[in-house]
C-alpha cells in the first residue's frame, strides 16, 4: 500500500508524463509532414462545388469521406470508379435518375455547376486516406 506522499508523487508524476506525451503527440499531429488534407489544391472551382454540395443537401442522401446518409452511394473516389463524363451526365440530366430503385432528384445543374461539383469530387479523391482506396457505406449498394 502506498503512503499518502507516495500516492501524491505517483499521481503527479503520472499526470506530468501523460501531459508531456499529449503535447508531443499534438505537435507531431500538427506538423507539416503529417498533413494529409490536400488543402494546397483548393481552387475557386472546388469551393463553388463544395457550396453546391452543401446548398443542395447532397449529404442528406450521399456519403463522402464516411460522413453523410446511407441512402445513396458513397462518393469518395467516385471519379476513379465512374469517370467525369458519367458524373456530369447524371448531374446535368433533366430527368430523375433511379438506379437500383433509388430515385435521385433531377437537379439539372448547368455545365459550369456540374464542372464545379466534379472539381470538388476530384479534390476529395486526392486526399490521402491512409491506404483506404474506397470507403463503402454498408447500405449503399454501389456495385455497378
Interacting residues of 134 by C-beta distance below 8 A, sequence separation 6+: 74, 76, 77, 81
CATH code (residue 115): 1.10.760.10
* pLDDT score of 1: 84
Q: Domain span at residue 11?
A: 4-33
Q: 3-state SS string over 110-143?
A: CHHHHHHHHHHHHHHHCCCCCCCCCCCCCCCCCC
In a shared domain, residues 113 and 94? yes
Distance CA 43, CA 14 (A): 46
Give the mean pLDDT per block of 10 residues along the chain (144 residues): 92 97 90 72 93 93 87 87 91 82 84 95 82 51 46
**14 lies in a domain?**
yes
CB atoms within 10 A of CB 72: 23
47 and 102 assigned to the same domain: yes
> Does the predicted TM-score (pTM) go above 0.85?
no
Same domain for 20 and 77, yes or no, is: no
20 with 63, same domain: the answer is no
- 3-state DSSP call for residue 103? coil
Give the count of beta carbons closer than 10 Å to the beta carbon of residue 78: 23
Are 79 and 91 part of one and the same domain?
yes
Q: Is residue 52 part of a domain?
A: yes
Residue 40: predicted pLDDT: 78
pLDDT value for 15: 97
The pLDDT of residue 54 is 94
pLDDT digits (tens, 9 = 90+) for 12-36: 999 999 999 999 999 988 877 766 6
pLDDT at 138: 46
Q: Do 10 and 62 have their domain in common?
A: no
Amino acid at each position: 500500500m502506498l503512503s499518502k506522499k507516495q500516492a501524491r508523487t505517483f499521481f503527479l508524476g503520472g499526470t506530468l508524463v501523460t501531459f508531456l506525451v499529449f503535447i508531443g503527440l499534438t505537435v507531431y499531429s500538427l506538423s507539416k509532414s503529417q498533413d494529409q488534407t490536400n488543402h494546397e489544391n483548393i481552387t475557386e472551382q472546388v469551393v463553388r462545388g463544395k457550396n453546391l454540395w452543401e446548398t443542395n443537401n447532397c449529404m442528406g442522401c450521399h456519403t463522402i469521406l464516411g460522413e453523410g446518409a446511407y441512402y445513396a452511394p458513397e462518393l469518395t473516389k467516385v471519379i476513379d470508379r465512374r469517370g467525369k463524363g458519367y458524373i456530369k451526365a447524371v448531374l446535368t440530366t433533366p430527368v430523375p435518375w433511379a438506379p437500383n430503385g433509388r430515385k435521385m432528384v433531377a437537379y439539372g445543374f448547368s455545365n459550369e455547376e456540374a464542372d464545379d461539383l466534379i472539381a470538388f469530387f476530384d479534390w476529395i479523391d486526392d486526399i490521402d486516406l491512409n491506404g483506404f482506396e474506397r470507403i463503402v457505406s454498408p447500405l449503399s449498394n454501389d456495385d455497378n
